[in-house]
Structure 1
């Protein structure tokens, strides 16, 4: 029996929304509410986050993908549209490589199919050192605000504080494990490019974590590409209505194909 915790709303075509690093499934609550009048929306906590325990053997995105495939089978989630934010996008691509055409469509939300470059890998190593020294609370308090554009942080103060509180529900072992897994993940650009289903990418023009130049290199590999102006790394919060409209229309087109 899977130990993955999740919530779901609605009926119909299943949409699985996978949260990112320092996030939990609850981050998708507004999206689930809005989409549930047309779809079955399922939002899991990745192992080591929220209410999902981390497996002792888990140390790669491939192992997370295997766990999610088993979880989907147990919960009759068949032919889903899977959309992942940031780390959730990396997990989505690992799932795509594992499951292929068993997925109806995929979406990357402020994410990338490319592997980390050496500079990013060094940053991941520094993150592991910081986490081991200072713990979860101090890390997420410093990590979350810079995901948002500096000029909008005062305006989005309550949303940022909520994101920080949700991030504190990730375990130390989980954050360290995912930092290493992101550092060591392989390039899956060809996996994305060769998938025959519909493929969505949403990028933030001010995203400091996934640079817009890197996102634009995915245009040839996806069927639907969108850029959010004046948006950092968390478009589903920064530009909620615009992001929701893009996701809804993408999912409607997939279902009506």
Structure 2
């Protein structure tokens, strides 16, 4: 069991995992997730790197930060968090929501990055329909609570065949989701709804970039992840995986991350 640490920041307390030594890398989890999303990935990578994985504001055991209703606020909190850990430069891996934060961080604080990766994420903004869906989910949480949202969301995160095959991890993902603060979930839904198109960040960056898509992702199709093609951007598909390769195919995910880090 990995030790969970806690650090006091300006507007709240952040819980995080910090394992291993060497070049620092940071994992940012997805919506209604926590640092536990990376529990099958961290031990192997921590043999070679310093691996940091926080609970994002409003998620897991991190306390809610004031007005965390824009993606940029999340990026600012991550910058403050890394400064408190005395980490000057890091390679950032962002899963889904974490990818949106990673892009905002790359836009604002690129000098703090050695490279970055979007894991089952996209630089595109929400479509009009997706924005309506976010608003409907805010209402759902307000009126029915977090559990109803999670019960509807979690099965879609896994590829159809993995819902049964990976039942243990489907349940783990559900339990992590249930622990999300309702206020945190609602403010994060608003932040995701209002995020801009950040394909220009991918187009303009000279940093090494790794774009990872799930072969059977029902949330973000690979064409939405692979939105920019450039010599410094690697595109990789994780086989037999939906939106949760860290549970569905962790060995392949670890392999792709490791290959990328060797070149950063």
- Which residue matches 2:216? 206
- Which residue matches 1:249? 259
Q: Give the root-mean-square deviation of aligned CA atoms.
A: 1.4
Aligned partner of 1:227 among 220, 223, 237: 237
Query: Displacement of 1:216 after TM fit?
Result: 3.0
Aligned partner of 1:43 among 53, 75, 92: 53
- Which residue matches 2:22? 12
> What per-residue deviation string (whole Å, max 9, x for no partner) do you get for residues 42-92 of structure 1?
000001111111123322111111111011101012210000000000011
Distance in 1 between residues matched to 2:38 and 2:263, nearest whole Å: 21
Which residues in structure 2 correspond to 1:156-235 (within 5 Å)? 156-220=166-230, 223-235=233-245
Mean alpha-carbon deviation: is it higher for 232-241 or for 210-219?
A: 210-219
Which structure has more helix as a fraction of its residues?
1
Which residues in structure 2 correspond to 1:43-82 (within 5 Å)? 43-82=53-92
Distance in 1 between residues matched to 2:256 and 2:118, nearest whole Å: 12
Query: Displacement of 1:222 after TM fit?
Result: 5.4
Distance in 2 between residues matched to 1:40 and 1:243, nearest whole Å: 17
Aligned partner of 1:146 among 156, 160, 167: 156
Sort the Cα spacing of 1:56 and 1:163 in 2 relative to 1 into closer, same or farther, 3 A: same
Distance in 2 between residues matched to 1:81 and 1:124, nearest whole Å: 30
Is the Cα–Cα contact under 8 Å of residues 193 and 221 in structure 1 kept in the other structure? no
Distance in 1 between residues matched to 2:259 and 2:65, nearest whole Å: 36
Mean alpha-carbon deviation: is it higher for 190-199 or for 84-93?
A: 190-199
Is the Cα–Cα contact under 8 Å of residues 25 and 50 in structure 1 kept in the other structure? yes
- Which residue matches 1:95? 105
Distance in 1 between residues matched to 2:246 and 2:98, nearest whole Å: 13
Distance in 1 between residues matched to 2:40 and 2:15, nearest whole Å: 18
Is the Cα–Cα contact under 8 Å of residues 114 and 187 in structure 1 kept in the other structure? yes
Residue 238 in structure 1 maps to residue 238 in structure 2: no
Is the Cα–Cα contact under 8 Å of residues 14 and 78 in structure 1 kept in the other structure? no
TM-score (norm: length of structure 2): 0.92
SS in 2 for 1:144: helix
Which structure has more strand as a fraction of its residues?
2
Residue 125 in structure 1 maps to residue 161 in structure 2: no
Query: Displacement of 1:18 after TM fit?
Result: 0.3
TM-score (norm: length of structure 1): 0.95
Is the Cα–Cα contact under 8 Å of residues 218 and 242 in structure 2 kept in the other structure? yes
Is the Cα–Cα contact under 8 Å of residues 192 and 222 in structure 1 kept in the other structure? no
Is the Cα–Cα contact under 8 Å of residues 128 and 176 in structure 1 kept in the other structure? yes
Distance in 1 between residues matched to 2:231 and 2:81, nearest whole Å: 28
Query: Displacement of 1:12 after TM fit?
Result: 0.9
SS in 2 for 1:164: helix
Gaps of at least 5 residues in structure 2 are 1-7
